[in-house]
Amino acid sequence: MTLTDDELRHAISAGMTHVLDSIARVRHRRVEAALRRGTLSIRASRTERRREARMRPRRPLRQQPLLTPYSVRVQMIAAGDVQLTELDSLITDEEARALEEWALCEEMLSGRVKSASWDLGRGGGGQSAPIPDAWLAQLGEHGRRRAGMGAGSLQILAAFTALQNGSEGALSAAQCGERLFPGARNKRRAFIGAVARVAGRLV
Protein backbone atom coordinates (compact mmCIF):
# COMPACT_ATOMS: atom_id res chain seq x y z
CA MET A 1 0.00 0.00 0.00
CA THR A 2 1.33 3.34 -1.01
CA LEU A 3 1.04 6.19 1.49
CA THR A 4 0.24 9.65 0.41
CA ASP A 5 2.55 12.45 1.34
CA ASP A 6 0.22 13.60 4.14
CA GLU A 7 -0.09 10.08 5.52
CA LEU A 8 3.70 9.66 5.41
CA ARG A 9 4.28 12.92 7.24
CA HIS A 10 1.69 11.92 9.82
CA ALA A 11 3.34 8.52 10.36
CA ILE A 12 6.76 10.10 10.75
CA SER A 13 5.34 12.69 13.13
CA ALA A 14 3.58 10.03 15.20
CA GLY A 15 6.71 7.91 15.34
CA MET A 16 8.88 10.84 16.38
CA THR A 17 6.36 11.80 19.03
CA HIS A 18 6.45 8.26 20.42
CA VAL A 19 10.26 8.29 20.45
CA LEU A 20 10.38 11.71 22.12
CA ASP A 21 7.79 10.60 24.69
CA SER A 22 9.87 7.52 25.46
CA ILE A 23 13.03 9.60 25.87
CA ALA A 24 11.17 12.08 28.08
CA ARG A 25 9.81 9.28 30.28
CA VAL A 26 13.29 7.78 30.71
CA ARG A 27 14.78 11.14 31.57
CA HIS A 28 11.94 11.85 33.98
CA ARG A 29 12.47 8.53 35.75
CA ARG A 30 16.22 9.16 36.01
CA VAL A 31 15.77 12.68 37.34
CA GLU A 32 13.04 11.54 39.71
CA ALA A 33 15.25 8.75 41.06
CA ALA A 34 18.20 11.12 41.52
CA LEU A 35 16.00 13.67 43.25
CA ARG A 36 14.48 11.01 45.45
CA ARG A 37 17.91 9.83 46.55
CA GLY A 38 19.12 13.35 47.28
CA THR A 39 15.87 14.57 48.80
CA LEU A 40 15.50 11.58 51.05
CA SER A 41 19.06 11.90 52.32
CA ILE A 42 18.63 15.64 52.89
CA ARG A 43 15.25 15.12 54.51
CA ALA A 44 16.62 12.36 56.72
CA SER A 45 19.59 14.48 57.80
CA ARG A 46 17.32 17.44 58.54
CA THR A 47 14.96 15.25 60.51
CA GLU A 48 17.89 13.80 62.43
CA ARG A 49 19.23 17.28 63.19
CA ARG A 50 15.82 18.43 64.42
CA ARG A 51 15.52 15.33 66.59
CA GLU A 52 18.97 15.93 68.07
CA ALA A 53 18.15 19.59 68.68
CA ARG A 54 14.98 18.61 70.55
CA MET A 55 16.87 16.08 72.65
CA ARG A 56 19.71 18.49 73.42
CA PRO A 57 19.07 20.40 76.68
CA ARG A 58 18.54 24.08 76.10
CA ARG A 59 20.74 26.52 77.91
CA PRO A 60 18.62 28.91 79.94
CA LEU A 61 18.72 32.49 78.80
CA ARG A 62 20.86 34.68 81.01
CA GLN A 63 18.91 37.61 82.38
CA GLN A 64 20.29 41.08 81.80
CA PRO A 65 21.61 42.75 84.99
CA LEU A 66 19.41 45.46 86.42
CA LEU A 67 22.38 47.47 87.65
CA THR A 68 25.25 48.72 85.52
CA PRO A 69 28.49 47.54 87.18
CA TYR A 70 30.60 50.31 88.69
CA SER A 71 33.60 49.64 86.45
CA VAL A 72 31.40 49.73 83.35
CA ARG A 73 29.84 52.98 84.50
CA VAL A 74 33.30 54.51 84.94
CA GLN A 75 34.21 53.45 81.40
CA MET A 76 30.99 54.96 80.06
CA ILE A 77 31.72 58.26 81.79
CA ALA A 78 35.27 58.30 80.42
CA ALA A 79 33.95 57.62 76.92
CA GLY A 80 31.20 60.21 77.29
CA ASP A 81 28.55 57.64 76.47
CA VAL A 82 26.58 56.91 79.63
CA GLN A 83 23.62 54.60 79.09
CA LEU A 84 21.78 53.98 82.34
CA THR A 85 19.35 51.21 83.11
CA GLU A 86 16.00 51.93 84.72
CA LEU A 87 17.39 50.99 88.14
CA ASP A 88 20.52 53.12 87.60
CA SER A 89 18.35 56.19 87.11
CA LEU A 90 16.40 55.58 90.34
CA ILE A 91 19.34 55.32 92.76
CA THR A 92 22.40 57.31 93.76
CA ASP A 93 25.97 56.25 93.05
CA GLU A 94 26.35 55.33 96.73
CA GLU A 95 23.25 53.15 96.60
CA ALA A 96 24.45 51.53 93.38
CA ARG A 97 27.78 50.72 94.99
CA ALA A 98 26.01 49.25 98.04
CA LEU A 99 23.79 47.06 95.86
CA GLU A 100 26.75 45.81 93.85
CA GLU A 101 28.70 45.02 97.02
CA TRP A 102 25.68 43.16 98.36
CA ALA A 103 25.43 41.02 95.23
CA LEU A 104 29.16 40.25 95.31
CA CYS A 105 29.16 39.37 99.02
CA GLU A 106 26.24 37.02 98.46
CA GLU A 107 28.10 35.40 95.58
CA MET A 108 31.21 34.99 97.75
CA LEU A 109 29.23 33.36 100.52
CA SER A 110 27.58 30.98 98.03
CA GLY A 111 31.00 29.87 96.77
CA ARG A 112 30.33 30.87 93.15
CA VAL A 113 32.54 33.96 93.04
CA LYS A 114 35.22 34.21 90.35
CA SER A 115 38.68 35.62 90.90
CA ALA A 116 38.08 38.29 88.24
CA SER A 117 35.26 39.80 90.32
CA TRP A 118 37.21 41.10 93.30
CA ASP A 119 37.32 44.66 92.01
CA LEU A 120 33.48 44.76 91.84
CA GLY A 121 33.84 45.15 88.11
CA ARG A 122 31.96 41.88 87.46
CA GLY A 123 34.38 41.25 84.66
CA GLY A 124 33.51 37.54 84.50
CA GLY A 125 35.88 34.75 83.72
CA GLY A 126 38.61 33.56 86.04
CA GLN A 127 38.48 30.57 88.33
CA SER A 128 36.62 30.01 91.57
CA ALA A 129 38.74 31.57 94.28
CA PRO A 130 38.94 31.48 98.06
CA ILE A 131 37.76 34.56 99.90
CA PRO A 132 40.74 36.93 100.27
CA ASP A 133 41.61 38.21 103.73
CA ALA A 134 40.93 41.79 102.60
CA TRP A 135 37.25 40.91 102.17
CA LEU A 136 36.69 39.21 105.53
CA ALA A 137 35.84 42.48 107.29
CA GLN A 138 33.50 43.44 104.44
CA LEU A 139 31.73 40.09 104.69
CA GLY A 140 31.38 40.52 108.45
CA GLU A 141 29.73 43.88 107.88
CA HIS A 142 27.54 42.31 105.22
CA GLY A 143 26.40 39.65 107.69
CA ARG A 144 25.47 42.28 110.28
CA ARG A 145 23.57 44.30 107.68
CA ARG A 146 21.82 41.17 106.51
CA ALA A 147 20.73 40.29 110.04
CA GLY A 148 19.12 43.70 110.39
CA MET A 149 17.03 43.45 107.22
CA GLY A 150 13.39 42.40 107.27
CA ALA A 151 12.12 39.31 105.48
CA GLY A 152 10.51 41.34 102.70
CA SER A 153 13.69 43.28 101.97
CA LEU A 154 15.76 40.10 101.98
CA GLN A 155 13.35 38.50 99.51
CA ILE A 156 13.72 41.46 97.16
CA LEU A 157 17.50 41.47 97.54
CA ALA A 158 17.69 37.72 96.94
CA ALA A 159 15.77 38.11 93.66
CA PHE A 160 17.92 41.08 92.66
CA THR A 161 21.13 39.21 93.51
CA ALA A 162 20.20 36.15 91.45
CA LEU A 163 19.34 38.33 88.48
CA GLN A 164 22.39 40.60 88.84
CA ASN A 165 24.83 37.70 89.25
CA GLY A 166 23.35 35.77 86.33
CA SER A 167 22.53 32.81 88.53
CA GLU A 168 21.08 29.76 86.80
CA GLY A 169 17.31 29.84 86.89
CA ALA A 170 17.16 33.51 87.87
CA LEU A 171 13.82 35.14 87.16
CA SER A 172 13.48 38.24 85.03
CA ALA A 173 12.45 41.52 86.62
CA ALA A 174 8.92 41.05 85.29
CA GLN A 175 8.74 37.52 86.73
CA CYS A 176 10.03 38.78 90.08
CA GLY A 177 7.32 41.44 90.04
CA GLU A 178 4.72 38.81 89.17
CA ARG A 179 5.78 36.77 92.16
CA LEU A 180 6.32 39.57 94.68
CA PHE A 181 3.81 42.17 93.52
CA PRO A 182 0.99 40.27 91.79
CA GLY A 183 -1.44 43.18 92.16
CA ALA A 184 0.81 45.76 90.49
CA ARG A 185 -0.21 47.06 87.08
CA ASN A 186 3.40 47.09 85.80
CA LYS A 187 5.05 44.24 87.64
CA ARG A 188 8.54 44.82 86.25
CA ARG A 189 8.51 48.45 87.31
CA ALA A 190 7.12 47.52 90.70
CA PHE A 191 10.02 45.16 91.33
CA ILE A 192 12.66 47.63 90.16
CA GLY A 193 11.11 50.33 92.34
CA ALA A 194 11.24 47.97 95.31
CA VAL A 195 14.93 47.26 94.68
CA ALA A 196 15.58 51.01 94.59
CA ARG A 197 13.82 51.48 97.93
CA VAL A 198 15.77 48.65 99.54
CA ALA A 199 19.01 50.14 98.18
CA GLY A 200 18.36 53.20 100.30
CA ARG A 201 18.45 51.04 103.41
CA LEU A 202 21.88 49.66 102.57
CA VAL A 203 23.73 52.97 102.87
Q: Is the per-residue pLDDT at 68 higher than 50?
A: yes
Residue 163: predicted pLDDT: 93
pLDDT tens column, 11-44 = 545 555 554 555 556 555 665 555 555 545 555 5
The whole-number average pLDDT for the span 178-193 is 96
Q: Is the per-residue pLDDT at 80 higher than 70?
A: yes
Highest average pLDDT, of 12-21, 46-55, 160-169, comes from: 160-169
Residue 120: predicted pLDDT: 43
Spans of all domains in the chain = 1-58, 70-200
Which residue, 169, 188, 168, is CA-closest to 178? 188
pLDDT above 70 coverage of the chain, percent: 61
Ordered DSSP codes for 76-144: HHHHT-----TTGGGS-HHHHHHHHHHHHHHHHHHT--BGGGTTS-----S-B-PPPGGGHHHHHHHHH
Rounded CA-CA distance 181/167 in Å is 22
pLDDT tens column, 107-161 = 888 875 554 444 444 444 444 556 777 778 888 899 999 999 999 999 999 999 9
pTM for the full predicted model: 0.62
Residue 197 binned pLDDT confidence (cut-offs 50, 70, 90): very high
